[in-house]
Structure 1
């Protein structure tokens, strides 16, 4: 079986994540191709698409959110993702058990004995008036019936048992707004697709194919790390004959689509600035294809990172008029030049129309490369 080097896997990831060269793909199609974008920090998807799409206009993504073509909802790994409306409806039921289990993992003692179907029915009854509510407001309206669990535990579980979306203006470009929830079905005027009952797991099969198109070649453990779903062996088994297999340098079996891009490992990789919690990093159990184990903690700490030669080589922030880059190791002269050029392009993107945005925090005009980060 062919062994793919870490560098070969890196270049495959960059190509499929639209990071090897910017794409002319429309924003909606890019969100679909990527299987959604991590979005618990509302502005981060805009940075992610800017790094991937040529001539990206943030107003395009905002319009898709307002027009209900994309939604903000708890999905993969029980984190807020920006996904297409079609994917939210198709995938949500397959994630139900995982969402509930993860809430129980945090609040089991508070929620022990709670009838989840009764909670879901009560939550839907409260929301039937069409008024959006915060999670805290929802929990308070249910607290008389369930006085034992705290508001946080009750609200978190309600988000798991009733598919919700976070309404705009939260998630719009240069807009700060609190979370207001309504049921997914009412917002999109269509019920969530029902779960399969014949054991074939068509949604799991679709998730596998979509994952490999955007993240492969990858192991089954990587697929689980991306979506949070443990029960996918049947889907993998059903699709396996369609796939080809490799091994990585650690000996793991990697699955892939036959015709997916696997660029030459020596293909040059441009500097890219990634947002916090980008799935190009979080979408794997073994992240060594893109980040060194010594820096793995950055991927879950909310750090925005810079890719140099395809790997995480720095962090970045934007405030007080400057994009500041903090290298993890010393840059060569050529690397420093490339990082500065891409940083200046990012600064221009962030400062465009900032005078009308009301968001002075991202009124950015320059680039500063700081000292190497302390170990």
Structure 2
């Protein structure tokens, strides 16, 4: 499949053109299944850039009110995902998170006893209150439990995967009692198929390797998930269209799905920009794309007046609505 067809169709499926923008942050996140949120502030723009009316406040409120959850999920990294999907996604992905993290836990002395005690202590602490990361650390310290560094971070990942904590307002933590009960009753195979469906509808055209990377699933499971998806050559597709409304230039968020959502990024990320956008320690910097391809990078400005060019209008609107 030629690069033009790939880019034109991804623009629609990734909701980066006006015809596919959504009227609510939750609808965008639900469409994607999960959106990378390693950088909280940048992930607000990742969602906001796909809204009909871009608003940072609207995205923050969706997270703060529990419509969107921000927690460790795919590949053991932080994602945004809909509260409607919370239970089946966590149930599907938690074993993979364990597989990734268990070697680190063992080296860090996070024994089953420590994890069990930490679970009880934190569950009680967040039962009636929202807690900041600092609050949790201070409380755990009083119980001689991990409260700093990688040990503490790994404990938080564990507590999240066990549905003891999830995101609260302003990057805090709270319990999961407000999340609606799971009504899907998916089998594991059905959950994999649903995850694959969300990926293809939001990232197609995409390959098996792309889905394996994004989801963290092994090839066998990924093939099960994609079994019902139409295919053209190596690409799984949605109905292909000729998209004449590709937005010429767009400032993308750091860790945006346009780039991070694929194993092979060569179609949109020229080699000359690779090291500028993706650092050696895995940070994905905010990128500027023209006709779908990276042509520059940018940083959050201290003054919006410094942003020059019509393509910044939606970002300025997004920031000004706070």
User: 8, 11, 15: which is aligned to 1:18?
Assistant: 15
Count of residues in Structure 1 that have an aligned counterpart in Structure 2: 314
Quick check: 1:156 aligned with 2:154? yes
Task: Name the CA distance, whole Å, in 1 between partners of 2:69 and 2:29.
Answer: 11
Task: Name the CA distance, whole Å, in 2 between partners of 1:228 and 1:26.
Answer: 30
**Residue 97 of structure 1 corresponds to which residue in structure 2?**
95
The TM-score, its normalising length taken from structure 1, stands at 0.71
**Residue 152 of structure 1, CA deviation:** 3.2
| 1:313 match: secondary structure | strand
Quick check: 1:181 aligned with 2:173? yes
**Residue 133 of structure 1, CA deviation:** 3.1
Task: Name the CA distance, whole Å, in 1 between partners of 2:246 and 2:149.
Answer: 51
Task: Name the CA distance, whole Å, in 2 between partners of 1:323 and 1:36.
Answer: 33
Contact 1:306 1:314 in 2 (8 A): yes
The TM-score, its normalising length taken from structure 2, stands at 0.82
Contact 1:47 1:275 in 2 (8 A): yes
User: 214, 223, 243: which is aligned to 2:202?
Assistant: 214
Task: Name the CA distance, whole Å, in 2 between partners of 1:318 and 1:234.
Answer: 39
Runs of 5+ in structure 1 lacking a partner?
171-178, 248-252, 326-338, 358-375
User: 215, 220, 236: which is aligned to 1:255?
Assistant: 236
Task: Name the CA distance, whole Å, in 1 between partners of 2:222 and 2:263.
Answer: 19
Structure 2 counterparts to residues 216-255 of structure 1, below 5 A? 216-230=204-218, 233-234=220-221, 236-237=223-224, 239-240=226-227, 242-247=228-233, 253-255=234-236
Larger helix proportion, structure 1 or 2?
2
* Distance verdict in 2 for CA 1:266–1:128, change over 3 Å: closer
Structure 2 counterparts to residues 134-145 of structure 1, below 5 A? 134-135=132-133, 137-138=135-136, 141-142=139-140
Task: Name the CA distance, whole Å, in 1 between partners of 2:250 and 2:190.
Answer: 35
Contact 1:290 1:310 in 2 (8 A): yes
* Distance verdict in 2 for CA 1:348–1:57, change over 3 Å: closer
**Residue 214 of structure 1, CA deviation:** 0.3
User: 193, 200, 207: which is aligned to 1:205?
Assistant: 193
* Higher relative contact order structure (alpha carbons within 8 Å, sequence separation ≥ 6): 2
**Residue 213 of structure 1, CA deviation:** 0.3
Larger strand proportion, structure 1 or 2?
1
* Distance verdict in 2 for CA 1:233–1:94, change over 3 Å: same
